[in-house]
Structure 1
Amino acid sequence: MKNVAIIGGTGYGAVELIRLLQLHEFMHIKKIISHSQYGEGIANTYPHLTEFIKEPMEELDIDRLKEEVDIIFFATPAGVAKDIIPDFQGSSVQCIDLSGDLRLTSAEQYKEWYGKDPAPQETLDKAVYGLPEVYKEQVKQAQIISNPGCFPTSALLGLIPAIEHQVIANQSIVIDGKTGVSGAGRKQSAMTHFSETNENVKPYKIGAHQHIPEIEKYLSDIAKDSITTTFTTHLIPMTRGLICTMYAPLEKNITSSEVIDLYESYYETHPFIRIRDEGTFPTTREVYGSNYCDIGLYVDQRTNQLVVESAIDNLVKGAAGQAIQNANLMNGWDEKHGLNTIPIYP
């Protein structure tokens, strides 16, 4: 049994970690760390956790964490984990960062897109990008994991097989992303106020979203070529769920059936990827509360484009679930442990 700490204990990502870790037979939540609410019970903020987490949240104490826990999940806003994780380098403690602090290996890019000072380059170089369906062997050997962002998870899983097999061109890729309001976190803002989101669809961060360089970096790594994308995000009036609709020019004469066969073969050994039959496409409701990524594919012969639909739950496969999947692989456990649940429907 591995003892676990969650740093950033009152955010949605942390609460989802708690929900999923309660099902895990090899991990035990030892500590929940909160800078703003240490000394309080987490049930004061989230009454649904009454009887599950009884110990009060604690203040950060790095020396005690090194002695008492085996795995730390950083469910913190950007700018926090980068200052803490370097203290654990070289120790036996495994660190999994759910924020964006370690996703970009270029310190200059991080400063440009996140507007904060970056982690030390040694830490950036040490971190493994935790997209298990692509970097599984690297994840197994890692001590520090950078958990992918929610939009990059959906977009990369939807595009990488086509990029790797040169089905689509490396340029003129369009990614149209839509997410529920939980992706913005728990902090109140005018952006996520009920009156602003209800019965409304709102594009945001056009041309300036911090996930742009992350998506482009890992697509470029796979393609061994520089890839740029047109990426637009939208906030939609639902609590959770995320879907990316992607359009890319075809490089091959190929049918929808052949593309589906290619994707099924590519993801054959990956339990959380479900490829839809020809003519059917995923919805966010069908992955709700689960670690699945559902992918639908269509070759538009008229426009010579591949259309990809990729749906995830932004808080599970886009955050806490994928973090647990990575922890499973790092420790030699079946990657489905604690995650093999049926999506909630309706």
Structure 2
Amino acid sequence: MRKTEEKIRVGIIGAASLTSGVLLKLLANHRYATIVLLASETQDGQEVGDIHRFLRNILDLKTVRYNSDEVIEECDVVFFSKPHGEFLEGASDLINKARKIKPKIKFIDLSADFRLKDANSYKEWYGFVHKDEFLLESAVYGLSEVYYQEIKKAFLIANPGCYPTCTILSVAPLFGDQLVDIERAIIVEAICGVSGAGRKPNERNLAMEVEENIKPYKIGIHPHIPEIEQELGLLIKDKISALFVPHVASFKYGMLTTTYLKLQKEMVFEDIVERYREFYKNKPFIRIRKKGEYPEIQNVESTNFCDIGIQIDKRTDICIIMGCIDNLLKGAAGQAIQNMNIMFGLDETEGLPFSNILRRVNS
């Protein structure tokens, strides 16, 4: 357990991103963390309150140009918040250099650069070649509720994607108990708000495209597919395939996934929910809905919760599992803070919404 009077010195590389804004909002309210370095190539030398305006008069910091020596000297933990592949070489060089100079420094990458264990998958799904197989092997997949013990000992966390977080958490107990028929592909439908497209303007998040609209995109080719297949395959100890159908909708934040599964044996709601309660025992950010209740985005917005709903359709013999998260919190920055807390021996709820209540409830 870290001495709580020693504040964790935090650095962020890619401080101008949408996710970094949420990360900074959470860190500003964290009792045991202090932000010491914000690096940005696109907004170098800017007041953080001018980049993320909700932080005006909250954080008195300026962004700097990235310098690896400064990062290593000043930081206990470094968050990477850059687009996939954009900082891969820089991250690899920094981590490998830092491990020799300052072995206790920790890294949390919010991009996909260290999530997939097969280096060859990066060329197929992300369009770049991954050359650092050592770090791919060393990185711990940062799904806090599944890999808690591994995260405690890790020096590099691959923070999961938003769609995989919601999908995997919603079905993990069934895969972990080998209850899913994987002879055919599982089907996952997902709906996400426009913030999932990030801060850079593109056709997917233009107001005229999304206002009062919902539209599918990247069906069967979304780069989160191998992440979902990898992690569910590890849980069930076999290869699985997933048909993934994402949609973008006109709301800002949040996501809902609906997964359709064929189970290995007949089960009733009470059997399934009991397995979920056991699997997620003492996991403060998992909330399982009552029978006949389903998760809603409005109930998880601006929180680190994952709400899960379960429905068995007897007519078709299909088990339908719904998951709901805030894509920028539990799907990104919130989970990154949760992982940092675990790595430094703090209560995993520290600095996250409702942490004062959750600490009491789960103590």
Alpha-carbon distance in structure 1 between the residues aligned to 2:131 and 2:251: 34
Post-superposition shift, 1:29?
A: 0.7
1:313 lines up with 2:330 in the alignment:
no
Post-superposition shift, 1:117?
A: 2.2
Post-superposition shift, 1:167?
A: 2.5
- Equivalent residue for 1:292? 305
CA distances 1:317-342 after superposition (whole Å, capped 9, x unpaired): 00000000000110111101011428
Q: Identify the match of residue 148 of structure 1 among 160, 169, 191.
A: 160
- Equivalent residue for 1:47? 53
- Equivalent residue for 2:239? 226
Q: Give 1:83's aligned amino acid.
A: E
Contact 2:302 2:353 in 1 (8 A): no
- Equivalent residue for 1:162? 174
Alignment map for 1:126-141 (pairs within 5 Å): 126-141=138-153
- Equivalent residue for 1:115? 127
Q: Identify the match of residue 270 of structure 2 among 240, 248, 257.
A: 257
Gaps spanning 5+ residues in structure 1: where? none
Q: Give 2:23's aligned amino acid.
A: L
Alignment map for 1:22-37 (pairs within 5 Å): 22-37=28-43
- Equivalent residue for 1:334? 347
Tell me which moved more, 43-52 or 254-263. 43-52
Contact 1:174 1:246 in 2 (8 A): yes
- Equivalent residue for 1:19? 25
CA RMSD of aligned residues (A): 1.1
Contact 2:28 2:59 in 1 (8 A): no
- Normalised by the size of structure 2, how large is the TM-score? 0.92
Post-superposition shift, 1:209?
A: 0.4
Post-superposition shift, 1:266?
A: 1.0
Contact 1:102 1:119 in 2 (8 A): no
1:84 lines up with 2:90 in the alignment:
yes
Post-superposition shift, 1:34?
A: 0.5
- Normalised by the size of structure 1, how large is the TM-score? 0.97
CA distances 1:85-110 after superposition (whole Å, capped 9, x unpaired): 22223233210000111111111101
Alignment: residue pair count: 342
Alignment map for 1:212-251 (pairs within 5 Å): 212-251=225-264
Alpha-carbon distance in structure 2 between the residues aligned to 1:35 and 1:314: 25
Contact 1:321 1:339 in 2 (8 A): yes
- Equivalent residue for 2:137? 125
Contact 2:177 2:236 in 1 (8 A): no
Post-superposition shift, 1:112?
A: 1.0
**SS of equivalent residue, structure 1 residue 30:** strand
Post-superposition shift, 1:75?
A: 1.2
Alpha-carbon distance in structure 2 between the residues aligned to 1:106 and 1:166: 24
**SS of equivalent residue, structure 1 residue 134:** coil
Post-superposition shift, 1:119?
A: 4.5
Q: Give 1:339's aligned amino acid.
A: L
Gaps spanning 5+ residues in structure 2: where? 1-6, 356-363
Post-superposition shift, 1:40?
A: 1.1
Alpha-carbon distance in structure 2 between the residues aligned to 1:166 and 1:36: 47
**SS of equivalent residue, structure 2 residue 352:** coil
Q: Percent identity?
A: 39
- Equivalent residue for 2:200? 187
Alpha-carbon distance in structure 1 between the residues aligned to 2:317 and 2:185: 12
Alignment map for 1:86-105 (pairs within 5 Å): 86=92, 87-89=94-96, 90=99, 91-105=103-117
Alpha-carbon distance in structure 1 between the residues aligned to 2:322 and 2:204: 26
Q: Identify the match of residue 272 of structure 1 among 285, 296, 313.
A: 285
Contact 1:66 1:88 in 2 (8 A): no
Alpha-carbon distance in structure 1 between the residues aligned to 2:104 and 2:178: 40
Post-superposition shift, 1:300?
A: 1.1
Shift of the 253–330 alpha-carbon distance from structure 1 to 2, 3 Å rule, reads same
Q: Give 2:95's aligned amino acid.
A: F
CA distances 1:137-188 after superposition (whole Å, capped 9, x unpaired): 1000000000000000000001111112133212331100110000110100
- Equivalent residue for 1:64? 70
Tell me which moved more, 262-271 or 44-53. 44-53
Contact 1:85 1:95 in 2 (8 A): no
Alpha-carbon distance in structure 2 between the residues aligned to 1:296 and 1:58: 44
Post-superposition shift, 1:303?
A: 0.8
Alpha-carbon distance in structure 2 between the residues aligned to 1:249 and 1:208: 23
Contact 2:254 2:297 in 1 (8 A): yes
Alpha-carbon distance in structure 2 between the residues aligned to 1:130 and 1:304: 33
Q: Give 2:116's aligned amino acid.
A: L
Alpha-carbon distance in structure 2 between the residues aligned to 1:211 and 1:223: 19
Tell me which moved more, 254-263 or 149-158. 254-263
Alpha-carbon distance in structure 1 between the residues aligned to 2:253 and 2:83: 18
Tell me which moved more, 254-263 or 85-94. 85-94
